[in-house]
């Protein structure tokens, strides 16, 4: 379990960082009734968003490999997923996110912006910044975005192929308890990847015909805020203490509603005997 918890620690740090990059500034602007952000602050937001979200996606790819080795090659797990290998893979995920962010930030803010200074978004997002460009040099950044999309697609294919082999191996397990345990190990990671990929793909690949400021805002919240917020809850669903707490809460709500229903039934029954009601 040590590699899984090590990767979850890194994922938690990335989630915490990505939320802290966009939400506090947006909340502060809302409380102060202002929409202003400095040029350097905008550049810092772009860098941190690309760094943290990119690093998170690369880390999810590494975690898919960890699940593949644990289920498909369990006898080699200690060798393939040793402490040094885990540290190197996590460092590669962080470094890839850093390099990706550095290239996008440097390229985006080297473009002259002369179409105003208003971004229709709650944080500095590259597509919104490119709308302010007044030269053809923005095509260079579009090229970088295409390269990043291809890299993202490659990671997605790797994750899909890993899970194809994982599910093939799990279905061969003779005992139902073994299959259930194997699936329970993979479902949180699969849910996080699905949420991250679907929201991100829709945000950047939605048809221009349905694009609007309100929809862009909602979609950006879905891919930049919702996944990092839900990731801890999704992974905590395997925690026994949390499941017991949710079960007790469900029972309490169920019995409370049932008690209220019985009281209402008694009230209506007493009123039913009165002709004028």
**For the chain, what percent of residues have pLDDT higher than 70?**
83
Q: What is the pLDDT of residues 193-227, one digit of tens each?
A: 888 887 777 776 666 666 677 777 777 787 788 77
The pLDDT value recorded for residue 271 is 44
The pLDDT value recorded for residue 64 is 93
Give the residue-averaged pLDDT of 39-49.
90
Going by C-alpha positions, the residue among 66, 96, 44 that lies closest to residue 193 is 66
Q: Confidence band (pLDDT; 50, 70, 90) for 51?
A: very high
Going by C-alpha positions, the residue among 73, 166, 52, 145 that lies closest to residue 103 is 145
CATH number of 2-238: 1.20.1070.10
Q: What residues does each domain of the chain span? A: 2-238, 240-277
Model pTM score: 0.79
Q: What is the pLDDT of residues 98-142, one digit of tens each?
A: 998 998 898 888 888 877 788 877 788 887 888 888 776 667 767
74-to-8, 39, 161, 181, 194 alpha-carbon distances in Å: 20, 51, 18, 14, 25
Q: Which residues contact 137 (CB under 8 A, 6 or more apart)?
A: 110, 111, 112
DSSP string covering 194-258, please? Answer: HHHHHHHHHHHHS-GGG--HHHHHHHHHHHHTHHHHHHHHHHHTT-HHHHHHHHHHHHHHHHHHH
The pLDDT value recorded for residue 97 is 93
- The answer, yes or no, to whether residue 29 has pLDDT greater than 70, is yes
Q: What is the pLDDT of residues 128-178, one digit of tens each?
A: 888 888 776 667 767 777 888 788 888 889 999 999 999 999 888 888 888
In sequence order, the β-bridge partners of residue 113 are: 133
Residue 71 or 232, more confident: 71
Q: What is the pLDDT of residues 59-88, one digit of tens each?
A: 999 999 999 999 899 898 988 999 999 999
Two tokens at 6?
Answer: 């090590």
Going by C-alpha positions, the residue among 31, 68, 15 that lies closest to residue 235 is 15
The pLDDT value recorded for residue 275 is 41
The pLDDT value recorded for residue 65 is 94
């Amino acid at each position: 379990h040590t590699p899984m918890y090590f990767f979850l620690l890194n994922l938690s740090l990335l989630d915490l960082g990505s939320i802290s990059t966009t939400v506090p500034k947006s909340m502060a602007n809302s409380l102060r009734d202002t929409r202003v952000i400095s040029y350097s602050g905008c550049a810092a937001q772009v860098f941190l968003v690309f760094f943290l979200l990119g690093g998170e996606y690369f880390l999810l790819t590494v975690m898919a490999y960890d699940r593949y080795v644990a289920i498909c090659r369990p006898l080699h797990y200690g060798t393939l997923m040793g402490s040094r290998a885990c540290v190197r893979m996590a460092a590669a995920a962080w470094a890839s996110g850093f390099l990706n962010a550095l290239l996008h930030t440097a390229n985006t803010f080297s473009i002259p912006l002369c179409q105003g200074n208003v971004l229709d978004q709650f944080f500095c997002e590259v597509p919104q910044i490119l709308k302010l460009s007044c030269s053809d040099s923005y095509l260079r950044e579009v090229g970088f975005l295409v390269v990043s999309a291809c890299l993202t697609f490659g990671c997605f294919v790797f994750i899909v192929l890993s899970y194809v082999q994982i599910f093939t191996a799990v279905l061969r397990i003779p005992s139902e308890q073994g299959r259930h345990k194997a699936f329970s190990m993979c479902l949180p990671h699969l849910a996080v990847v699905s949420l991250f990929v679907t929201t991100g793909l829709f945000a950047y690949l939605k048809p221009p015909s349905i694009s609007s400021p309100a929809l862009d805002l909602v979609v950006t919240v879905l891919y930049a805020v919702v996944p990092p917020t839900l990731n801890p809850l999704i992974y905590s669903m395997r925690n026994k203490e949390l499941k017991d707490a949710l079960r007790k809460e469900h029972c309490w709500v169920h019995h409370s509603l049932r008690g209220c229903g019985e009281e209402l039934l008694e009230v209506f029954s007493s009123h039913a005997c009165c002709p004028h009601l």
